[in-house]
Chains A and B, each alone.
Chain A
Amino acid sequence: NAGVMQNPRHLVRRRGQEARLRCSPMKGHSHVYWYRQLPEEGLKFMVYLQKENIIDESGMPKERFSAEFPKEGPSILRIQQVVRGDSAAYFCASRSGTVNNEQFFGPGTRLTVL
Chain B
Amino acid sequence: AQSVTQLGSHVSVSEGALVLLRCNYSSSVPPYLFWYVQYPNQGLQLLLKYTSAATLVKGINGFEAEFKKSETSFHLTKPSAHMSDAAEYFCAVSDQNRRNEKLTFGTGTRLTIIP
* Chain B CB within 8 A of A107 CB: yes
Asked if residues B43 and A55 are in contact (CB atoms below 8 Å), the reply is: no
- What interface size band does chain B fall in? 20 to 34
Which residues of chain A have C-beta atoms less than 8 A from B42's C-beta?
A: 107-108
* Chain B CB within 8 A of A48 CB: yes
**What does DSSP make chain B's interface, helix, strand, loop or mixed?**
loop
Which of B46, B96, B100 is A55 in contact with, Cβ under 8 Å?
Answer: B100
* Chain B CB within 8 A of A44 CB: yes
* Chain A CB within 8 A of B44 CB: yes
How many residues of chain A have a CB within 8 Å of chain B?
A: 25
Which of A42, A99, A102 is B105 in contact with, Cβ under 8 Å?
Answer: A42
**What does DSSP make chain A's interface, helix, strand, loop or mixed?**
strand
Asked if residues B103 and A48 are in contact (CB atoms below 8 Å), the reply is: no
Which residues of chain A have C-beta atoms less than 8 A from B103's C-beta?
A: 33, 35, 43, 45, 93, 103
Which residues of chain B have C-beta atoms less than 8 A from A107's C-beta?
A: 41-43
Which residues of chain A have C-beta atoms less than 8 A from B104's C-beta?
A: 45
A52–B65 Cα gap in the complex (Å)?
37
Which of A33, A42, A100, A104 is B96 in contact with, Cβ under 8 Å?
Answer: A100
* Closest CB in chain B relative to A101 CB, distance in Å: 8
Which of A41, A48, A106, A110 is B100 in contact with, Cβ under 8 Å?
Answer: A48
A95–B101 Cα gap in the complex (Å)?
10
Which residues of chain A have C-beta atoms less than 8 A from B49's C-beta?
A: 102
Given contacts A33-B103, A104-B46, A105-B44, 4 further A-B contacts (CB under 8 A): A43-B103, A48-B100, A48-B102, A105-B43
The 8 closest A-B pairs by CB, nearest first: A42-B105, A105-B43, A105-B44, A42-B107, A107-B43, A43-B105, A45-B102, A56-B100
Residues of B within 8 A of A (CB): 32, 36, 41-46, 49, 51, 90, 96, 100-108
